[in-house]
Amino acid sequence: MSLRRMLCLLEPWFGPPLLDTNNEVDPKALMFKKNMYGKPEVDWQNYTNCNNPPLHFNISHTDSLIACGVTVHVPVGIDVEDKERKIKHDILAFAERFYSADEVKFLSTLPDPEVQRKEFIKLWTLKEAYVKALGKGFSAAPFNTFTIQSKVGTKGEYNLCKMTEMTASSLEETNKCDGEWKFSLLELDDSHYAAICIEDDEASGGAIFS
């Protein structure tokens, strides 16, 4: 399915925010380009008379679901995965290949194979959202170069730790996980996980519209 076709399907949901924030631009006239990593972006250079802040978007889909995140000012990444997705390989062996050492250690503490599988998928969904928010892909931002950790005292919120910030102390490590990116993990209709990642830019008014 082409990007333009997907955006047409989603227009009833994100049409009003587009009109509210960029009413100089007809949504049907939007033009797109790809960044150096191949991520689609709105080509705002074609709208020199547009005074409103540009919108950022990201799209993810499975066989039965399409999700779109739209923000003002700040990059956004979104990913959706089927909760019942089966993993053919041994989960820990697969995690050792793609995940950080801390994430592998976390998964290894889960004795229930079904819980372990679900937590693996949650991490994968969150990691996908992050590299998509960066505007990169898996090859440009390998999953084992950063760690996603559940934020203590919250439900569905996570922190990012970059490998260069890791320390021997888990307390220091947790403190350093409060970075410039915000994460949220949602469970949709008991069938999918959806992860959203945005750059933390409260000072400039970044906001999620979808």
pLDDT, tens digit (0-9, with 9 covering 90-100), for 3-12: 444 444 444 4
Instruction: Determine, yes or no, domain membership for 161.
Output: yes
Query: Which of helix, strand or coil describes residue 103?
Result: helix
Q: Are 185 and 122 in contact (CB under 8 A)?
A: yes
Q: So what's the pLDDT on residue 93?
A: 94
Tell me, what's the pLDDT at 120? Answer: 96
Reference 181, options 160, 157, 151; nearest CA is 160
H or E element at residue 175 = helix 170-175
Position 1 pLDDT exceeds 70: no
- In this structure, of 57-61, 69-73, 74-78, 95-99, the range with the lowest mean pLDDT score is 69-73
Q: Is the predicted pLDDT of residue 112 greater than 90, yes or no? A: yes
With a cut of 70, say whether residue 30 has pLDDT above it.
yes
pLDDT value for 163? 59
Q: How many domains does the chain have?
A: 1
Q: What is the pLDDT of residue 37?
A: 81
Half-sphere exposure of 3 (CA within 13 A, CB side): 14
Question: Using CA of residue 150, residue 62, residue 143, residue 2, what is the dihedral sign?
Answer: negative
Q: With 80 as the cut, is the pLDDT of residue 60 above it?
A: yes
Res. 97: pLDDT tops 60: yes
DSSP 180: S
More confident residue, 38 or 146: 146
- pLDDT at residue 194, rounded to an integer: 93
For residue 118, being part of any structural domain is answered with yes
| CA distances from residue 190 to 70, 84, 128, 195 in whole angstroms, order as listed | 23, 10, 20, 14
- Whether 208 maps to a domain, the answer reads no
Residue 103: per-residue pLDDT: 95
Residue 207 forms part of a structural domain: no
Q: According to the model, what pLDDT value does residue 90 have?
A: 92
Residue 20 within a domain:
yes
**Does any domain span residue 151?**
yes
| Domain at 92, CATH number | 3.90.470.20
pLDDT at 177 over 80: no
Residue among 180, 146, 183 nearest 161 (CA)? 146
What is the structure's pLDDT at 165?
41
